[in-house]
Amino acid sequence: MTGKTHLAFGILVGTGYALKTTSDVGTSAVIIATTALFSLVPDICHAGSKIGRHMKLLSKLISFFFGHRTLTHSFFFMALVAVLLTMLNIDFTYIVCAIIGIASHILLDMLTPRGVALFFPLDFKVTSPINFKTGGIMDLSLATTFSLLTAYLIYVEMFHRTMSWIN
């Protein structure tokens, strides 16, 4: 999937998580931003990705040693990120956001023919029986759908808040 699709899905799942966990607008914004950022992180292994272009050296090192869609697209990576964020004393809510963002990325990449090394270091690729070409019409359609669903979630939440003021 393209960076746009990963970002749109990260924003969607971040919005859903924020709506379920807090009513504070500031906290919601941080939850959504954290989830969106971490929805791009797994592609650090690809120098041409949205995040890889900003961290070229790290991207090239990860790609050289591990390849694309291996380490950073695995359960092992999610656990590693959770441990590192815990060691940095990051609030648990934002660690959950990071894991949700990474998981959203991995889930979408499982929908591509190449799949992901979900059980890295085992050399076994996991793919969905239904898959789509990265950058194809379905990829673009998913990005659009995720954006519309996010707008819908926000609209519904605003409607419910407005109705609670009236009552």
* Total residues found in the chain within this entry: 167
DSSP 7-25: HHHHHHHHHHHHHHH---H
User: Residue 63: its pLDDT value, please?
Assistant: 85
Say what the pTM is.
0.91
Q: Looking at this protein, which amino acid is placed at residue 42?
A: P
User: Residue 35: its pLDDT value, please?
Assistant: 98
User: Residue 167: its pLDDT value, please?
Assistant: 56
User: Residue 12: its pLDDT value, please?
Assistant: 98
Query: Do residues 65 and 59 make contact, with C-beta atoms less than 8 angstroms apart?
Result: no
DSSP the chain: --HHHHHHHHHHHHHHHHHHH---HHHHHHHHHHHHHHTTGGGGG-TTSTTTTTSHHHHHHHHHHH-TTSGGGSHHHHHHHHHHHHHTT--HHHHHHHHHHHHHHHHHHTTSTT-B-TTTTS---B--SS---TTSHHHHHHHHHHHHHHHHHHHHHHHHHHHHHH-
Q: Give the whole-angstrom CA distance, residue 5 versus residue 7.
A: 5
Q: List the chain domain ranges.
A: 3-166
User: Residue 46: its pLDDT value, please?
Assistant: 85
User: Residue 133: its pLDDT value, please?
Assistant: 85
Split the chain (167 residues) into runs of 10 and give each run's mean pLDDT: 94 96 93 97 88 85 87 96 98 97 97 93 91 87 95 86 64
User: Residue 91: its pLDDT value, please?
Assistant: 96
